[in-house]
């Protein structure tokens, strides 16, 4: 039997990169999915427009910053995956208040709605950015939290709000902490798609920020598998759980892999506009995934090479590439 047969599941942030992939996987696993897309006057559903099974998903439009709306859409739901968030680190430098409103207040509204409507479980999606530059590796769930950007500070706050509802009101909460996710539909503000789109657009000088930081990159299907396993587990209530591959690679080495796969001789150059402030850059992230493996049996299915090939295949499709502005640095 599929993991979520007969379950009503709300996915906030479903119109985003990871959210759209998670929505697809939940449908495949038997769930009846209600997918929240941020309201806009164009009635555009973001990446939900591109998913398989769209006709099997109930799309609703609104905003997690509105508590009454969160209460309304949470009625009758068994599980909520809260992915609704502002995630671009550079934009958090110039608009930090909006990150507090969306990430922290949004988590508060979802948790309050879950309590009011007797929702069985909330999976709050966090980020490895909350750990900051590694003090030890691999990074386990006991690693200190370091707010090195307004974005990471807002996610620390959101996680704390969610966990406070577990402690104070006995809400079944799991904090899922994915490390760096990549794949089809990712924003070009992220390093992997920005390099792929520049090469695919014929550019010979590929602009990046600092290539020295290391990351634990995870193909989006693996991240969503981890989220589903946590959502389906009975032994993760009140737990913080990393989702990652336990594989560390530098940004520059990753980009060289992309060049090799794409057969490109483009030169990689540093763009000062893409460099984070000195004390804000996270220089090392490497996931210890022991806990999720022990709790759920999670094992990533895609190697970095396999994931990059699938990602590149998607981006070089002209119909997909045309949705990106390769020559513009998106914050």
Q: Per-residue DSSP letters for 120-161?
A: SEEEEE--GGGG-S-SSSSB-TTSPP---SHHHHHHHHHHHH
Please give the mean pLDDT across all residues of the chain: 95
pTM for this predicted structure:
0.96
User: Which residues make up the CATH 3.90.25.10 domain(s) of the chain?
Assistant: 183-215+247-283+303-321
- List the CATH code of the domain at 8-181+218-243: 3.40.50.720
pLDDT at position 273 is 75
Residues of the chain with CATH 3.40.50.720: 8-181+218-243
- Angle 200-203-206 (CA atoms, 0-180°, nearest 5)? 100
Residues linked to residue 79 through DSSP beta bridges, in sequence order: 9, 121
Closest by alpha carbon to 29, among 60, 62, 7?
7
- CATH class of this structure's domain 183-215+247-283+303-321: alpha beta
Sort strands 249-250 and 214-215 into parallel, antiparallel or unpaired: antiparallel
Is a pLDDT exceeding 70 seen at residue 331? no
What confidence tens digit (pLDDT) does each residue in 46-92 have?
999 999 999 999 999 999 999 999 999 999 999 999 999 999 999 99
More confident residue, 278 or 152: 152
Express each pLDDT in 14-23 by its tens digit: 999 999 999 9
Q: How far, in Å, CA of 179 to CA of 127, rounded?
A: 6
Distance from the first to the final alpha carbon of the chain: 42
- Tell how strand 79-82 and strand 121-125 pair up: parallel
Helix (H) / strand (E) element for 17: namely helix 17-28
Tokens coding 41? 């006057």
- φ/ψ of residue 242, rounded to 5: -70, 150
């Amino acid at each position: 039997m599929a993991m979520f047969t007969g379950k009503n599941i709300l996915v906030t942030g479903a119109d985003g990169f990871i959210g759209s992939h998670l929505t697809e996987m939940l449908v495949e696993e038997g769930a009846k999915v209600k997918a929240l897309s941020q309201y806009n006057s164009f009635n555009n559903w973001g990446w939900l427009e591109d998913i398989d099974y769209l006709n099997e998903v109930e799309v609703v439009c609104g905003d997690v910053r509105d508590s009454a709306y969160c209460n309304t859409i949470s009625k009758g739901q068994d599980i909520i995956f809260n992915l609704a968030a502002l995630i671009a680190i550079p934009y958090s430098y110039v608009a930090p208040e909006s990150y507090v409103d969306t990430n922290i207040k949004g988590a508060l509204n979802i948790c309050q709605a879950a309590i009011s409507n007797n929702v069985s479980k909330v999976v709050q999606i966090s980020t490895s950015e909350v750990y900051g530059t590694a003090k030890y590796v691999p990074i386990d769930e006991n690693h200190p939290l370091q707010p090195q950007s307004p974005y990471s500070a807002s996610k620390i706050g959101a996680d704390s709000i969610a966990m406070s509802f577990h402690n104070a009101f006995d809400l079944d909460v799991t904090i899922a902490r994915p490390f760096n996710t990549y794949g089809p539909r990712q924003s070009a503000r992220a390093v992997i798609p920005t390099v792929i789109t520049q090469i695919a657009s014929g550019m010979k000088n590929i602009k990046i920020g600092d290539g020295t930081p290391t990351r634990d990159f995870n193909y989006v299907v693996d991240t969503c598998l981890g989220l589903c396993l946590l959502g389906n587990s009975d032994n993760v209530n009140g737990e913080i759980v990393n989702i990652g591959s336990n594989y560390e690679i530098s940004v520059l080495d990753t980009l060289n892999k992309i060049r090799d796969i794409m057969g490109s001789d483009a030169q990689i150059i540093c763009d000062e506009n893409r460099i984070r402030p000195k004390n804000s850059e996270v220089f090392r992230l490497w996931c210890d995934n022991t806990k999720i493996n022990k709790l759920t049996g999670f094992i990533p299915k895609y190697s970095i090479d396999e994931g990059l090939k699938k990602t590149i295949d998607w981006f070089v499709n002209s119909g997909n590439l045309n949705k990106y502005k390769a020559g513009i640095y998106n914050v």
